[in-house]
Each structure stands twice: as structure tokens, then as C-alpha cells.
Amino acid sequence: MKIDYSTLEKKIKVNFKDKNLLIKSLTHKSFNKEQNYEKIEFLGDRVLGLIIAKKLLEIYPDEKEGILDKKFASLVNKKTCLQIAKKIDLQKYILTLKIKNSKNIIEDKVLSDSCEALIGAIYLDKGFEIIEKVILDLWSEHIKDSIVTQIDAKTKLQEFSLKKFKKLPIYKIISNTGPRHKPLFKVAVKLINTKSFIAEGKSKKDAEQNAAVLCLRNTKKI
């Protein structure tokens, strides 16, 4: 079946001058040992890192390096690239003989690697300004979520609560369910004169962090 790459170009709002470069960026080595995405992926990984690092410095000019490192890592890791790949249905355009199971589901690693390779191809074909626009558009929700990262959510909520109410946030375990090897905690957090914000997590700590994230997202309403 012939792949219609024009639908992908419409999704990412890029019209490639070199269509072969686009195809190469989505070709796994199992399909073509010579013309595949491996080297372009190497480039794409660096381009993504540069653009995300640049954006984080613009958003957080006074943030500590340690916090920036954590935000950066969460935005450029394979998990996020996989989510972006699925967002633009990249699996429909990848040429590969390497499959995960009988349902022809492409492996997650191939998808995330292809996402980075596509970034490299756009950079080579269109230059820095265009790929920067593409990345910031595709990563916009993830960048927005990085404003409140789970890593420092409890700390930020504590600072907010002390500054506004002179009191610490109040955390309460609502439930602890599931088997011992796979527990599920539900935790509520409440500030003075606010409703409770409830979230779940695989541990008490994770659930508290998730609840703190929810609460922080609503601080403008408090």
C-alpha cells in the first residue's frame, strides 16, 4: 500500500522540498539497511534539545539549573517523543519490517526514534526557524504542563500556601487500594478556605505530588 506523506505534511504544516529526505527519516533499518533514519535521528535529538533548552530559558530566566534540568529531561525524553509521534499518527508513515506483534503494531522505540528523525529532516530541509516553530507547536501542551512539574509541585504549593495563608497545605489519604505489589493511593490536598483537590498515584508520595499539581493549576482561582 502506497503511503500518502502529504497528510503528514499537512499535520505538521511543513511542505518538504526533498520528499526523499522525509521518507528516509521515517524508514527503519529493518526495511532499508543503507537509507534509514539512524543518522538523521542523531541530528534530530540535538535539534530538539537545543530548541527546548532555548524555550525553557525564555520561560524561566530566574529558575535554578537543577529545576531546568528536570523540566528539560521530561520534555525531550523518549516517552514525550512517543506521545508526540502518536499525536500526529506517525505510525501510519513509517517503513519497517520490525513489528511488535501479529497486529503489526510498531514498537514504541521505533516511533519515538522516528519522531526525532523527522525533526532532523525538517531542520535539514527547512532550517532552524521552521523546525523551531514546528517543535514549539507540537510540544506546546507539554511545555505548558512543565510550568508545574510533579518533581517540585509539593514545594511550590507549600511556598504558595505559606505566603498567602501563613499555613501549610493539608494532605489526607483517602484510600489505599489494589494488591500489595501494585497499590493505588488516593490523596486529597486542601489549603485554607479551598476545596480539596484529589489525585491518585502508585505511592503516597506520587499521589501527593499529583494532588499538589492539581491544586497549583487552580491557584489563580483561589
For the whole model, what pTM was predicted?
Answer: 0.66
In the chain, CATH 1.10.1520.10 sits at 6-145
pLDDT in tens, 78-115: 999 999 999 999 999 999 886 544 455 688 899 999 99
Collect the ranges in the chain with pLDDT lower than 70.
Answer: 1, 98-105, 147-151, 220-222
Catalytic residues: 45, 116
The pLDDT score that the predictor gives to residue 148 is 54
Give the model's pLDDT for residue 220. 61
**83 backbone dihedrals φ, ψ, rounded to 5°:** -65, -40
Alpha helix locations (H) across the chain? 6-12, 19-25, 38-59, 65-76, 78-87, 108-126, 128-138, 140-145, 153-165, 204-217
**Domain 6-145's class?**
mainly alpha
* CATH class, range 153-221: alpha beta
